[in-house]
């Protein structure tokens, strides 16, 4: 019986430590990272060179995107692809939601974020309605007072064109 009680206490302590760790994310860091996600939306809605430069400036030089299939994409590839895509899309809605933020032992912060984007995309055969939802696990590091994204692990992506699902990859809710 005493060993069960000791196990229970150990589990309770471990659970409370996890809760405390998550609560340790400083409020100023939470606000800064939320503002960074909003800057990405500003660039999506108004993709001027200046807005794109600010948004892409939030990616660390060593940034890596890991897509839902596990393929890694370096910063330069992500930036060039995103610049081309953002110039083709007229974004009307960009809604970022941070589901959670966790402070890691190295001082970085892991955020689970969902972003919903809607608008029109121009293609050679005309304009089409676009509805895109993504969910990712992003790692942010404070570099000289600025939170930079060092990695993004895409968890789930759903893309609809004219109301039809053209992509649904990853694990919903994962």
In a domain, 5, yes or no: no
Closest CA to 68 of 146, 2, 158: 158
Q: 3-class SS at 163?
A: coil
Q: How far apart are CA 168 and CA 156, in angstroms?
A: 7
Mean pLDDT across 81-96: 91
Number of domains in the chain: 1
Q: What is the pLDDT of residue 66?
A: 97
pLDDT in tens, 38-56: 999 999 999 999 999 999 9
Establish if 53 belongs to a structural domain. Answer: yes
Q: How far is CA 93 from CA 16, 81, 125, 127, 166, in A?
A: 38, 20, 23, 16, 19
Q: Is residue 130 part of a domain?
A: yes
Tell me the residue range of the domain where 151 lies.
Answer: 26-170
Give the global pTM: 0.82
Residue 13, domain member (yes or no):
no
| C-alpha torsion angle, residues 30, 31, 36, 41 (rounded to 10) | 110
24 phi/psi in degrees, rounded to 5: -75, -10
Q: Is 81 within a domain? A: yes
**Residue 6 within a domain:** no
Q: What is the dihedral of CA 155, 19, 37, 171, to 10 degrees?
A: 10
User: Is there a domain that residue 128 lies in?
Assistant: yes
Whichever domain contains 42, its CATH number is: 3.10.450.50
1 part of a folded domain: no
Banded pLDDT at 24 (limits 50, 70, 90): confident
């Amino acid at each position: 019986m005493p060993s069960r009680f000791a196990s229970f206490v150990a589990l309770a302590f471990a659970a409370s430590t996890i809760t405390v760790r998550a609560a340790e994310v400083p409020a100023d860091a939470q606000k800064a990272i939320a503002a960074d996600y909003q800057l990405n939306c500003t660039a999506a809605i108004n993709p001027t060179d200046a807005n794109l430069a600010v948004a892409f400036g939030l990616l660390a030089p060593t940034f890596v995107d890991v897509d839902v299939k596990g393929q890694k994409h370096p910063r330069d590839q992500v930036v060039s692809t995103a610049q081309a895509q953002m110039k083709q899309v007229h974004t009307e809605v960009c809604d970022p939601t941070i589901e959670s933020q966790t402070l890691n032992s190295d001082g970085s912060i892991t955020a689970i974020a969902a972003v919903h984007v809607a608008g029109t995309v121009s293609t050679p055969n005309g304009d089409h309605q676009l509805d895109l939802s993504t969910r990712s696990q992003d790692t942010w590091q404070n570099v000289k007072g600025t939170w930079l994204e060092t990695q993004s692990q895409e968890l789930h992506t759903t893309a609809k064109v004219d109301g039809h699902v053209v992509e649904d990859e990853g694990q919903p809710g994962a």
